[in-house]
Structures are given as C-alpha cells and as structure tokens.
Amino acid sequence: MKQQLIAWLMGFVLSTGVAWAGAGEMTIIYSGNTDGELEPCGCSEEGNLGGILRRATTIDKLRRRHPDLFLVSSGGLLASISPQDRLTGEYILKGLAQVSYDALGVQWQDLAYGDEFILHDGLHWVSSNHRHAGVAKERLIRRGGQLLAFFSWLDPDKDPAIAMGEGRPVSVSGDTAELAQSLKAAQASGALTMLATSLPLAQAREQLPLEQVDILVIESAYEEYGEPQKIGNLLVLQPGSRGMRLGHLTLERGTDGRIAAFRHEVIKMPKSVEDAERLLPWYKEYNAKVKETYLVRAAQRRAAESGDSPYAGEEACATCHADEHDIWWDTPHAGAYDKLEDVNKAYDPNCVGCHTVGYDQPGGFIDMDTTPQFAGVQCENCHGAAREHVKSAGSRPVANAHWEPQQMCAQCHVQKHSPTFNFDRYWPRIRHGLAK
C-alpha cells in the first residue's frame, strides 16, 4: 500500500508539472544532547550556559518572532551514570514537555531506564527503526504552509543486547529499505525531510539512504555546535551537547522542494537570559525532590557510619599550618559550600561532591547537621585525608602527598565544571606552602 501511495504521489507531481507546495522560507530551531543535565554546572567563575529554564525563555521569544518555527531535537536527553541521574532525567522530560518540542529523536541513552520511562510526558519521540509501539517511526509537522518530515535512526551496532551477549540487535532493525521508502514518500508529498542520528558523518553517509534527505543531523559535538556543511542537496548539521546552546536555521526552498539557500546562527544562553517564570514551579518541585532524596541518602549514611573518619578538617590543619590556613580562608574555596546554598544546590549530589570534603566517602561530608566541619573546599580536598598525618604529629604523610598541584586541581576543575580553567592563572589566587 505504501509503495502504491509513493508511486501515485510522484506520478501526480511529475504529470502536473506544478511547483512544490513547499517552496518558500522555513525556520528551524534545533538542539542535541543534554546528556542528563537539567542545567549545566554554574559554579565556575565564568558562569554557566543554557539549561531548560533559559531554553524555555529563548524559545518563547523566538516563537513570538517566528510563530511558524519548527522545534526539534536529535535526542540524547538522559544519562545513567549516577543514582541522581534517573530523577534528573524524569524532570528533564517534564521540563522539555513544557517547551513543546515538535519532534525528538531517540538515542540509546534515552532508553537507559526502559522504553516506558520516556513515554509519560507527551513528548513526540521518533525512531524510524525502533521496535516499540509507543515511539513513532516518523513525524510530520505542518506549519505556515510548510511541511517537515522528521526521522531518527538508532545505530543497530550500539544495541545493548549485543553487549549482553545476544550477538545481534534485538530492539531495532538495521534494514534501511523501509526508511528509504518513507523518506521518498515524504519528499513526494512536498515535505522537507530531516533525519537525526548519533552516527558521525562518515558512517551516516556509508550506512543511511540519504538521497531523499534534505537535512541530516549527526552526532552532537561536545558543547559547541559544528559548522553546517552542504553536500550536494544535503545540509549537514551538528548540534552541541549539554543543552548549552540552540541552533537557528533559516532556509529557502526552491520550486523543487530542495534547499536553495540557508542562514545559520548559534544562540548562546548566558546568565543574562532570564529563567522562564512559567517553568519555576517545575524547577521548585525538582529541587524539592533532590533535597528529599539527598536527606534519605544522608540518613542511610549516618546509620552506616562507624569508627573514626580518615579526615581531620581544616581546624586541625590550622594548628600547624596557620599561615597556609589564613591564605585559604580568604579564597573562594573556603566559602564554596555557601555558594551552593545561595543557588539552592546544597542537596544536589552532582554539586556537593566538589564543594565539601570526602562526600560519598567513608567518614566524609554527610550534611550540615552531622558533618559541618567538612563543608567547603578544604585542605583535604587537594592534599587528601589527613587524620593519620595529624595523629602522628606530621610524621605520616597526607594521602595525596606525592601529587602534583595540577593533579589536585583536576579532581574538580574539569571541562564540564570549569571550562576556562587554566592552572597558571588560577594557582596564584590560592598559592601557599612549599610551592609559594
């Protein structure tokens, strides 16, 4: 039946010789992976970019300027690395549902908690080769006289079933014939075709039927968007990750329906972009849930803790290292936990770990009621546990005694949390001890 429909549509267009209905201008806002981040870390001095609250504000403004815009994502919204990721993922889906995406591609990481996890919030998920009744194989969006056909392809070679010993994909098909037919039918109907995948460009060109694809969205680059590439009739887009930016594409379609010209802009969302007021109840609920789960986990840790802590705390260090302690006291490290409280992140384990001593380690920080002496970035964050060093009056070295300063800093000052970190520029602000 589908092949007959394709033949009829193509025959009608060719026989009548009329211009395609799709000729004209289109505006497409697109994004890629958020990688499980509801909002990127904002504790670094340069602040953070993006986040769902700012994304909602930005998209609301864009919709007022371009009421007929199309809003799509290549997927990769979730992560499954820490226990916190499931809760954060749940609220990422709830938040993006309020942003009203027209279509979202499915990536394997979006299925980390099972197919049903992503289907409760009314999001328009698309996977053209995934075997699940609740996920559409394509999505047609008509707006302002234009028709966009959105498709998404899961790499069969990355099917978790293969890693679990099945030897072959179980939940997806690797046969591209059906995708090719659907793309052909969409183009015959006058739609602009858009295919999203997590494959890099070279593999996508080898594996996918791109003859009837107008826009190919490939694997997300880390944070920064890639430059668009025009390869014949195909426009290749590469979104960034972590939800930090948006891509703004304006294109002109010729009378044949293909892309005749385009303009591309990457939209940043710095802290000057206000949070969307309409999403503040969602954000407040998320933080309340984070606090609730944190307190439960803290209670479990308190019950499990026994014996002496391997950490001594900054006051013990000050007894022998008074000058160094005075220098530390005047640095942002000393007030690092207060910064979390200022932005209501003192219960987020993804933040607390770098703002306290020994979080989630035996004898380390639990909460301000139980272990207030370990709040802030203290001596032992860098130099390692020092209880034995203190008890031996300095004859036993601290845990990280043989570490280079750069190695100490790199525990927390990584690209994800401190993107502009430069040791030579940062070190003079806290210089102390033998390295002065």
Dist CA 319 CA 62 (whole Å): 58
Residues 257 and 334 in one domain: no
Residues 267 and 318 in one domain: no
Q: What pTM, to 2 d.p., does this model score?
A: 0.83
* pLDDT tens digits, 386-422: 999 989 998 999 899 899 988 989 898 887 777 778 8
* CATH code for the domain in which residue 172 is found: 3.60.21.10
Residues 59 and 171 in one domain: yes
Residues 212 and 85 in one domain: yes
Dist CA 235 CA 248 (whole Å): 14
When comparing pLDDT for 401 and 16, which is higher? 401
The runs of H, that is alpha helices, within 78-156 are 84-99
Token pair belonging to 70: 């199309």
Task: Answer yes or no: is 285 within a domain.
Answer: no
**Residue 118, number of CB atoms within 10 A of its CB:** 24
Q: Is the pLDDT of residue 225 over 90?
A: yes
> Residue with structure tokens 């092949």?
3
Residues 174 and 54 in one domain: yes
Token pair belonging to 147: 């028709």
Residues 46 and 151 in one domain: yes
Residues 253 and 317 in one domain: no
The residue among 273, 297, 323 that closes a domain is 273
**How sure is the predictor about 297, in pLDDT bands with cuts at 50, 70 and 90?**
confident
Q: Is the pLDDT of residue 307 over 60?
A: yes
Residues 200 and 324 in one domain: no
pLDDT, position 413: 87
* Residue range(s) defining the domain that contains residue 111: 19-273
Token pair belonging to 264: 């591309």
Task: Answer yes or no: is 128 within a domain.
Answer: yes
Three-state DSSP class for residue 246? strand
Domain count for the chain: 2
Residues 192 and 75 in one domain: yes
* pLDDT tens digits, 342-358: 877 888 888 888 999 98
Task: Answer yes or no: is 112 within a domain.
Answer: yes
Task: Answer yes or no: is 297 within a domain.
Answer: no
Residues 268 and 314 in one domain: no
Residues 390 and 247 in one domain: no
* CATH code for the domain in which residue 347 is found: 1.10.1130.10
